[in-house]
A and B are shown apart, each in its own frame.
Chain A
Amino acid sequence: MSRFLFPRWTNNLLPFILVTGAIMPLYAVLVVAYGFSPKTIDAGYMPTQPVPYSHATHVGKLGLDCRYCHTTVERTSFAAVPPTQTCMNCHTQIHRESPKLAEVRSSYETGLPIEWVKVHKLPDYSYFNHAAHVNRGVSCVECHGRVDQMEVVYRHSPLAMGWCLECHRDPIDRLRPVSQITNLAWDQRIEMTREEREALATQYHINPSENCSTCHR
């Protein structure tokens, strides 16, 4: 009668199982934590743009209104990045030879557009409408932060659905009179009382929808 002997390789099996069993949960936890962390939803994303356009200079220092360039924000779903023509409105006179504007000038001459890198990208299955927000008292600064202080545009808010719902469920703090929409330094939490903001909400029937079909089409 022959005894059954475990093959030699099973000697290493038990330590292997123990080590894997210890590491796997840890790995799973790390993956999940990473997944839930802001890292994956890109607040702070600051890509390099083809032209070193500084909002801090143009908006902060010179006082350009957001809508001078982003003309469609009150009329359509997205705030259009301006065409080269808009830049050249001033830059045919100012800083005509600046090397920083070489790309802009060549675009103007050739008619080929400047390819900006999109900072505030939402997934393709969700549809955000700027006009619906801007016309009713939600300022640029609520979502985009202090763009007038950004040398290079970065993503200030996560723009995740949960973050959108925070406001949709309690919009009062984010509302301001439409006249102050592009005044990024102004803060309605200081300048207005809660009752005044609630009056705004009543005036515009601010009752943000939590229906899925509002954004998911």
Chain B
Amino acid sequence: MKKTYWRSVDDLTGSPEFRDWMHREFPDGASEHVPADDRRTFLKVMGASFALAGLGIAGCRRWPETKIVPAASQPANRIPGVPVTYCSAWDFAGFGQPLLVKSYDGRPIKLDTNPAHPWGGAGISAVAQAQVLSLYDPERSRQVLSKGIGSSYEPFATFLANTSRELKQKGGQGLAVLCGAASGPTHAATMARVRAAFPKATVVEWESLGRDNAIVGTEAAFSAPMRMLPLFDKAKVIVSLGDDFLYGSPDAPQWAKRWAVGRSIDAADPKAQEVARLYVVEQGLTSTGMCADERIATRLAFMHVAASIIAEAVGVGSDSAELRAALSAANSSAAASALREGRGQKVFDALIADLKANRGRSVVTAGATACEATHALVAAINRALGNEGSTVMLLAEMQTASMPAMQALCKSMQAGEVDTLFILGVNPVYAAPADCDFAGALKKVARVVHLGLHADETARHSAITWHIPQAHFLECWSDTRSFDGTIAVQQPLILPMLGQGQGGRSVDELLAELLGDGPTDGESLVKSTHESLASANAGGPAFAEVWRKTLDRGFVEGSALPAVSTPPMRAAEIAKTLTGCAWECDSAKGVEVVFLRDLKVWDGRFGCISWMQELPDPVTKITWDNALLMSPKTADDLKLKRGQMAAVTVQGRTLEAVAWPVPGWSDGSVGISVGYGRSGEGVGLVASDAGFNANRIRTADAPDWTTATAIVPTGATYSVAHTQDHGAADAINTAVPLQGIQERLPTLVREATLDEYRTHPDFARHRTHVASRLSLWSENNLEGAQFRWAMAVDLSKCTGCSACVTACQAENNIPVVGKDMVLRGREMFWIRIDRYFKGSNAASPDGFALQPVACMHCENAPCEQVCPVAATVHDEDGLNSMVYNRCIGTRYCSNNCPYKVRRFNFFDYHRREVSREEGIAKVKPEYYIEEGPDVWLRMQFNPEVTVRMRGVMEKCTFCTQRIQAARIKAKNEWARAGGTASGQKQFSIPDGTIQTACQQACPTGAITFGDLNVADSAVAKLHRSSRSYQMLEELNTKTRLQYLARVTNPALPRESGSGYGGHGGDHGTDHSNGHSNGNTKG
């Protein structure tokens, strides 16, 4: 292509550097280059596809011929088109998550929690729900690769048989097996068999983001590693030392559910209302930190010092002079003074006073990344406070510290001691820390077998002899143990979606084949494990009955681990761990770099799930990338601005990442999530180039945090797609930053402290003055309707975990739009979580506010009034309906919506590949594609909800498909019973039958849906509560979605008042202004 004008030689030649620069810098206008060659070609391509489209819809019919394809032989009790729900489970890095899987015509389409399971009934996290999409990932590995070339399973089976024989003769000499942590008894049994058959083999169960610190720390304290199970629901005071239990751990839903019990504002007499208090000491800003009543931001390196301060004050070490000495040494260090600076001292005092006043009713917990000393001290603190046995349960830890084992494995690989390596279900070439140099070590191994869901970086390594596609957990049998030890069976819902003879094995099935003695199919393996478990329970029911029950209800009765009561505590060991905590607390040494755990991608394994890439991070609201997060002060110190690239050097290794200041982050400490920055062949479209690879500077000795030698701006910038802007210029008064937001915020997110609530329980009603409720047009008449659907969202319980966002996406076929579109604000989520910072000092916010916003289903809806074609109309039951086929795309409705909850399909996103670059024409040309892996993603669609196309507006429907389904079912049952002749005058739907997707997924139960016409329904009670209010009620929209104001429980007075914010202070002024201007807005 000949160019006439160009800016540089690179521009003329269109070099890769130039394209890269164009892509990364100043996206406005920069990437207008159409990837296809030039306009002429583009027009040709589009013209051709128009023509083809015309031909495609042939036959002079409005639609093409459709087929009905029944089964040849329908199984009994299966009605085609009626979803069936099965119990299953998912092992998330060694923690079983109980699931109910909804299967529609043999396709699993939605995952939810299993309420019957002891560890279930707590909603489901966003990442767990996203696993259903990974089943249908078109980029999944579908073919056996032999040295990178497509092959099939048969030759591999021969190879495996031969290898097995050979290894058995050698007793496993030279064999190494590397797999992930898996908790189930079947896996444990298989690994035991492997160790028995190959005694000289190295077997490593490794997690890149493991719990090594907790394991080593509790081992020091108790002489055997213990797992601490906090019972947050029984605690009056919760102290979290870096533990993001509300969002940042695999079992977050269960912790959040328990925490929410303590936050329930349901006392009959408001004066007697009690609320548990949450103190958080953390390095970064997390969901738990945002929900904290009191918060201290400090470097992760100081966490054990924070623990020491608490420990000394509550009397830890009363029986050990060593421990006391260690504690006082820690408490007189520079770190301790840093912690006590400013407000810190007051917070610690309040914290300690609270703990002392609530012995046996408090929980102190430490995060997975906090050092071993912190964990040891926390164990001691809980012991000293008498929490053990009442609010904290100790269970025998099932996992082992894995990073040292991984390091040892790498060393022996480098030394050439391993000639056969099995990498099962993990991606160490990407996820292993940089100093392990796994890629280099792999080259020294003669035969490597990789089992993986994707043909990822490990599979594409030159040393891999065989790559076998792994079966997804929804495709194979296994079992899991959840945190409390309850065993759940993982049963498949679909056969492996791979070609014939192309593998589709689970980890245990492959190992069973390696062992070669006995059945190798998952079902037999699991059944035999459970048979031996059942037989251990002599005198119990027959195994067949036990098995049936296990599959029906999803768990093995009575399999939870028993609590270990008062294991002996070793104060001397704790003291040693504490003094041995070599991390210096010297800020002059350099900026701390923390490796954060991102629950969207974990260690990178979920990076291929588009839902997770697009989900805004609960704290930073960043999508499709990670960033180098830091406090605004640190950013200034490092001379970095938001969006500028920085080079972080740690021990000679450098990583470039985009700087992103986050108000509330600790000073002198930067954080970056692991699991991003993947690139290269085999990574796939979704995960490629998303973010920056923190593993480059991460070492196995310091996998959680380290010190940077240097952090310097590189001069480049990077555009980050985030869905909520903080620190934006404020139009109301540019002289006072954020003033407008701060004035408005108290009416949008209404909060009060517990003291205020006790004296003014209806404080929420007094945040706005609604001068009049006159309407410009005649309002909808909803009198006499049989149902009045409504929803209540309790802001006291919302943690911002975004499980509702992903649930809605899964249920309603919401498309993923890609980074490019998110940059333009075109993300399609029907529900979003607004996250605000409070206070006008960006460097240290006074507090945080979270608010889920979905369509309010206003009775007096502004959107309905302006639709020119009546595509959005009001239901007689109160729902604002969206009729997609009538919509012509004027977008007047979203223009008029004051809550901005309407999303427009600017493109046909379902047919468009997600793009990180700006450009057009990445659309697949044919509409009715019937074959190919791209069709897979469509299998996840919920058939009960229309799939929207380009040009159509969409928004939350209160899950109208679920409402209709329940309604029709109830009506039919009543009609079949005889209608009015049955004795019931009219059919009814019991409260709680209909659960919207967001409600079902919410771990804390913050969302309630139901019928206002039923006087004692949950939602009616909540709407009558004194805390309930409508958002923007002064606009007289009469929303059916009401919020319940948040009640916080701070220990210390706040600088900005209690959350009354500007209103309280400027009350007089506003009023007089309002009256003198004749303004009707209060």
Contacts and interface: CB of A to CB of B under 8 A. Distances in A.
Interface of A: 40-42, 45, 47, 72, 74-78, 80-85, 107-108, 110-118, 121, 123-127, 129, 131-132, 135-136, 178, 202-205, 209, 211-214, 216-217
B6 interface: no
B221 to A, nearest CB: 56
B816 to A, nearest CB: 20
Nearest to A214: B964
A9 B61 CA distance: 42
Nearest to A118: B66
A213 to B, nearest CB: 4
Contacts of B65: 47, 117-118
A42 to B, nearest CB: 7
A123 B79 contact: no
A80 B876 contact: no
Residue of A42, A125, A132 ringed by the most chain B CB atoms within 10 A: A125
A70 B135 CA distance: 33
26 contacts: A72-B79, A72-B81, A75-B82, A76-B82, A78-B81, A80-B79, A80-B80, A82-B70, A83-B70, A83-B71, A83-B73, A84-B73, A114-B72, A117-B65, A117-B66, A117-B67, A118-B66, A127-B944, A127-B961, A129-B964, A203-B978, A205-B980, A205-B987, A212-B883, A217-B961, A217-B964
Contacts of B961: 127, 217
A211 B70 contact: no
A68 to B, nearest CB: 14
Given A124-B946, A212-B881, A216-B883, A81 B81 contact: no
A174 to B, nearest CB: 15
B81 A211 contact: no
A126 B65 CA distance: 18
B980 A203 contact: yes
Given A47-B65, A80-B80, A114 B70 contact: yes
Going nearest first, the 10 A-B pairs with the smallest beta carbon separation are A213-B881, A83-B74, A204-B979, A118-B66, A125-B946, A212-B881, A203-B979, A84-B72, A135-B975, A85-B73
B62 A77 contact: no
B957 A217 contact: yes
A117 B66 CA distance: 6
A136 B976 CA distance: 8
B873 interface: yes
B415 interface: no
B877 interface: yes
Q: Which of B72, B875, B981 has the most CB of A within 10 A?
A: B72
B320 interface: no
Given A118-B68, A136-B975, A129 B968 contact: yes
Contacts of A212: 873, 875, 881, 883
Interface string B860-892: 000000000000010111010111110000000
Given A41-B62, A204-B975, A209-B876, A217 B945 contact: yes
Contact of B960 (A45, A83, A112, A213): A213
The listed residue with most B CB atoms (<10 A of its CB), out of A75, A82, A178, A212, is A212
B55 interface: no
B971 interface: yes
Contacts of B972: 74-75, 131-132, 135
Nearest to B877: A211
A113 B881 contact: no
Interface in B53-87: 61-63, 65-74, 79-82
Contact of A113 (B71, B877, B945): B71
Contacts of A74: 972, 976
Given A81-B70, A132-B972, A217-B957, 10 more contacts: A47-B65, A75-B82, A82-B70, A85-B72, A113-B72, A118-B65, A131-B968, A132-B968, A211-B881, A216-B883
Nearest to B80: A80
A47 B61 CA distance: 12
Given A78-B81, A213-B964, A115 B67 contact: yes
Contacts of A107: 72
Contacts of A129: 964, 968
A66 to B, nearest CB: 16
A178 B885 CA distance: 34
B110 to A, nearest CB: 16
B169 interface: no
Contacts of A111: 72-73
B986 interface: yes
B946 A211 contact: no
A82 B68 CA distance: 10
Contact of A216 (B70, B885, B968): B885
Nearest to B884: A125
A112 B946 CA distance: 29
B70 A80 contact: yes
B73 A217 contact: no
Contacts of A214: 964
Contacts of A205: 979-980, 986-987
A211 B885 CA distance: 15
A33 B504 CA distance: 56
Contact of A132 (B80, B877, B971): B971
Contact of A116 (B67, B74, B875, B885): B67
Contacts of A76: 79, 81-82
Contacts of B873: 211-212
Nearest to A109: B72
A72 B80 contact: yes
Nearest to A116: B68
A216 to B, nearest CB: 5
A156 to B, nearest CB: 17
A40 B57 CA distance: 13
A123 B747 CA distance: 44
B980 to A, nearest CB: 5
Nearest to A216: B883
A202 B879 CA distance: 26
Contacts of B69: 113-116
A40 B62 contact: yes
B947 interface: yes
Given A41-B62, A205-B979, A213 B946 contact: no
B71 A77 contact: no
Nearest to B74: A83
Nearest to B870: A212
Nearest to A129: B968
A108 B968 CA distance: 35
B649 to A, nearest CB: 55
B875 A217 contact: no
Nearest to A199: B980
Contacts of B980: 202-205
A178 B80 CA distance: 24
A131 B79 CA distance: 13
Looking at A108, A111, A136, A211, which has the most chain B CB atoms within 10 Å of its CB? A211
Contacts of A116: 67-70
Contacts of A83: 70-74
A147 to B, nearest CB: 15
A211 B879 CA distance: 10
Given A111-B73, A217-B945, A77 B876 contact: no
B82 to A, nearest CB: 5
A118 to B, nearest CB: 4
A110 B73 CA distance: 11
Q: Which of A42, A112, A209, A213 has the most CB of B within 10 A?
A: A213
Contacts of A112: 72
A212 B1031 CA distance: 26
A152 to B, nearest CB: 15
A214 B883 CA distance: 11
Interface in B15-72: 61-63, 65-72
Interface string B950-982: 000000010011001000100110011011110
Nearest to B969: A131
A85 B76 CA distance: 11
A135 B875 contact: no
Nearest to B64: A121
